[in-house]
Amino acid sequence: MKLFITYFLTFMGFLAIDLLWLGVIAAPLYSKILGGLLAQNPNWTVALVFYLLYIVGIFYFAILPAAKINSVGLAIKNGALFGFFNYMTYDFTNWAVIENWPGHLTWIDLPWGVFITCATALLGYVLHKKICT
pTM: 0.94
pLDDT in tens, 45-65: 999 999 999 999 999 999 999
Give the number of residues written for the chain: 133
User: Would you say 120 and 79 are in contact if contact means Cβ atoms under 8 Å apart?
Assistant: yes
Identify the band that residue 20 occupies on the pLDDT scale cut at 50, 70 and 90: very high
Average pLDDT score over the chain: 96
Give domain limits for the chain: 2-132
Query: Phi then psi for 95, rounded to 5 degrees?
Result: -60, -35
Query: How high is the pLDDT of residue 72?
Result: 98
pLDDT in tens, 58-90: 999 999 999 999 999 999 999 999 999 999 999
The residues, any chain, with a CB within 8 Å of residue 35's CB and separated by 6 or more, are none
Kindly calculate the radius of gyration of the chain based on its CA atoms and give it in whole angstroms: 16
